[in-house]
């Protein structure tokens, strides 16, 4: 279930399949002839960036329908969001609310008719104490509240997930909670159902008001730089990313071309990513002070095999573009504190030719996205020298806290900033010591307007030393850089 908060948005509470639809104005669950029911396909689902599918923490998402929801029939209305600036609008501990849904009834069957029940919110500590030990983690999320039916046996259950918990003030209804998870009990027939005698947990919508508002403000902004052709995924019909061809699959990968002073020879040391026809994003420390007698001269776009003048596969032949750099622009807080905001934009002397199949910009997220645990790292590996062909690997996100501890053991003290992302190789043979070049992009797939696109999650900053198979690679993300990038790339 979910609820409408505006003509452009609704709120569910869990991940959904790629292809689905929503019904609004529904009263009879299986009545397909109700004239008040409207069906909408969905263009996009936006999970909270810190959603935890194991613990149901930050258990909230936004759905964007394929068209604006109509309120002209006076049957369908949006619910008022709890104002973030006034969390005490209603004292929910002293006033009961109403939960609505199609959940299991007293006979443990899905109700065919929309039901409501009166609920009272209980203090979180009392909630934790009442729940069985194995589910006491549920209400410990700061974004959760607990409620239980005011009448014996009345509570939310399976099928109610995503349903609202509403409170009224001055004849106006406000959404405060959405049904998240509850304790279960075993039935005599061997099945299980919800335990109505115990409190259920709800996502506290008031805690996420700013996140919701941020997405409402940019309803027409699909990516940070509003590019129409960014990140389009070739071979989208192949589900397994590792089974897709590498050739032209990640056409935003860039090589930085350094030249030694007074010499013509090109040295390929670091990587970057094309984010706009005129701009390449890279890691700041690649440019700042590492190569004292080298100068960054240009970028190479559309490369696949550095040892060939042309690349060809499946009847497609490509050549590279080398474009000189007009200006290097460091993040305004670069290296403040040490290792943070480690980004630089390279402004090219002219636009890259993105009409070519091997040169395209990647999409940048407008605000932080939810990312599946498995992402894709692409680029050129190196030990002493750069390997010739573009490669890719699957990466699993890992704990930033544990990652920092691992690096501290090596004497590298990383700042406790939000612009760090850590990952380990999903599969890396022991003794495999070939690392991706600094600046290699870490990306994820996201369906926007029913089009699968790649978005940039981060850029390789540090390789874990000592050839350790499970060592965390460290990436710089865009957490503190989005506004700077948007303001710079105009």
Mind giving me the DSSP string for 168-227?
EETTEEEEEEEEEEE-EEE-TTS-EEE-TTS-EEEEEGGGGHHHHHHHHHTTT-SSTT--
**Per-block mean pLDDT, blocks of 10 residues, the chain (490 long):** 59 51 88 88 86 92 86 86 77 90 74 89 94 93 93 78 91 93 74 81 92 82 90 92 95 94 82 98 87 86 95 94 97 90 97 97 91 88 82 91 87 84 81 83 88 93 71 86 93
Q: What pLDDT shows up at residue 182? A: 85
**Can you give the pLDDT at residue 260?**
82
* Cβ atoms within 10 Å, residue 111: 17
| Six-digit token string for 27 | 């009263």
End-to-end CA distance of the chain: 40
Bridge partners of 322? 300
Q: Please check whether residue 25 is in contact with residue 33, taking contact to mean a CB–CB distance below 8 angstroms.
A: no
**What tokens were used for 341?**
């905001």
Token look-up 């990306």 returns: 443
| Per-residue pLDDT, 122 | 93
| Sequence-separated (6 or more) residues with CB below 8 Å from residue 457 | 371, 375, 421, 442, 443, 444, 475, 477
Domains and CATH numbers, the chain: 2-215 (2.40.10.10), 241-488 (2.40.10.10)
Separation CA 167–CA 202 (nearest Å): 14
């Amino acid at each position: 279930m979910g609820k409408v908060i505006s003509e452009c948005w609704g709120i569910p509470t869990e991940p959904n399949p790629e292809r689905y639809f929503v019904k609004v104005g529904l009263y009879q669950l299986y009545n397909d002839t109700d004239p008040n029911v409207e069906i909408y396909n969905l263009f996009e689902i936006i999970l909270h960036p810190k959603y935890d599918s194991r613990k149901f923490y930050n258990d909230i998402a936004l759905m964007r329908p394929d068209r604006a929801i109509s309120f002209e029939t006076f049957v369908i209305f949006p619910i008022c969001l709890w104002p973030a600036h006034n969390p005490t609008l209603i004292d929910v501990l002293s006033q009961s609310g109403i939960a609505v849904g199609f959940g299991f009834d007293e006979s443990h069957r899905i109700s065919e008719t929309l039901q409501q029940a009166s609920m009272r919110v209980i203090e979180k500590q009392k909630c934790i104490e009442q729940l069985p030990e194995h589910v006491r983690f549920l209400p410990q999320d700061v974004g959760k509240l607990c409620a239980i039916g005011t009448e014996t046996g009345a509570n939310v259950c399976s099928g109610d997930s995503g349903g609202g918990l509403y409170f009224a003030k001055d004849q106006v209804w406000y959404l405060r909670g959405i049904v998240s998870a509850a304790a279960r009990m075993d039935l005599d027939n061997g099945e299980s159902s919800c335990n109505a005698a115990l409190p259920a947990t709800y996502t506290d919508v008031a805690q996420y008001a700013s996140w919701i508002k941020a997405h409402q403000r940019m309803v027409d902004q699909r990516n940070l730089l509003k590019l129409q052709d960014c990140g389009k995924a070739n071979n989208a019909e192949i589900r397994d990313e590792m089974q897709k061809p590498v050739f032209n699959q990640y056409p935003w990968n860039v090589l930085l071309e350094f030249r030694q002073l007074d010499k013509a020879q090109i040295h390929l040391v670091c990587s970057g990513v094309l984010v706009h026809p005129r701009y390449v994003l890279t890691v700041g420390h690649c440019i700042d002070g590492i190569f004292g007698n080298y100068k960054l001269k240009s970028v190479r776009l559309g490369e696949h095999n550095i040892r060939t003048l042309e690349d060809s596969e499946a009847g497609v032949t490509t050549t590279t573009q080398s474009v000189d750099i007009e200006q290097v622009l460091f993040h305004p807080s670069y290296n403040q504190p040490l290792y943070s905001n480690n980004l630089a934009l390279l402004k090219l002397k002219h636009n890259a030719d993105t009409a070519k199949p091997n040169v395209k910009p990647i999409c940048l997220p407008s605000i932080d996205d939810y990312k599946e645990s498995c992402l894709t790292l692409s680029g050129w590996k190196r030990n002493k020298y750069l390997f010739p062909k573009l490669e890719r690997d699957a990466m699993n996100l890992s704990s930033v806290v544990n990652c920092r501890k691992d690096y501290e053991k090596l004497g590298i003290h990383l700042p406790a900033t939000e612009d760090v992302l850590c990952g380990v190789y999903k599969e890396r043979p022991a003794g495999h010591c070939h690392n991706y070049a600094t600046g290699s992009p870490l990306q994820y797939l996201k369906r926007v307007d029913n089009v699968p696109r790649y978005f940039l999650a981060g850029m390789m900053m540090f390789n874990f030393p000592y050839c350790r198979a499970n060592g965390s690679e460290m990436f710089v993300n865009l957490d503190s850089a989005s506004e700077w990038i948007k303001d710079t790339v105009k």
